[in-house]
Amino acid sequence: MQITIDTNEELSAKDLEVLALLTGSNGAAAEKPKATAPAKKAAAAKPAPEPEPEAEEDLLGGDTPTMADAVALATKLVSAGEAAKVKAALADAGAKRVSELDEDKIAGFVAALSD
């Protein structure tokens, strides 16, 4: 999403309030239009956020996989047509669904799917 702000025109109180929320200022800036002008330019010139890393990178980066890692990996494998592998790993872990896995069995489940 891109928001363009023309600072050459007079900004309404609502515009200043929205800008204060977007920039994280405490609202005092909304009362002083001159003080918020540099912040608006900085907000408009902000670079695009970096893309989120893929699920595989998340799993390799941490020392212990989380429930979110297990869900992401299982979802990816099911989407790739490897549902049987996910079901087998769940059966080995003693669960019917990934969300039912015990915390101590998540690492084993992820390891079984990574093989």
Q: Where are the domains of the chain?
A: 1-49, 55-114
Question: Helices 106-114 and 67-79 meet at what angle, rounded to 10?
Answer: 30
Q: Determine the pLDDT at residue 26.
A: 62
Q: Distance (Å, rounded) from C-alpha 94 to C-alpha 100?
A: 9
| pLDDT beyond 60 at 103 | yes
Tell me what the pLDDT averaged over the chain comes to: 75
| pLDDT beyond 50 at 59 | no
CB-based contacts of 101, cutoff 8 Å, min separation 6: 67, 70, 90, 93, 95, 109
Give the pair of three-digit tokens for residue 15.
Answer: 């515009």
Give the pair of three-digit tokens for residue 88.
Answer: 């087998």
Q: Distance (Å, rounded) from C-alpha 83 to C-alpha 77?
A: 7
Q: Confirm whether pTM is higher than 0.75.
A: no
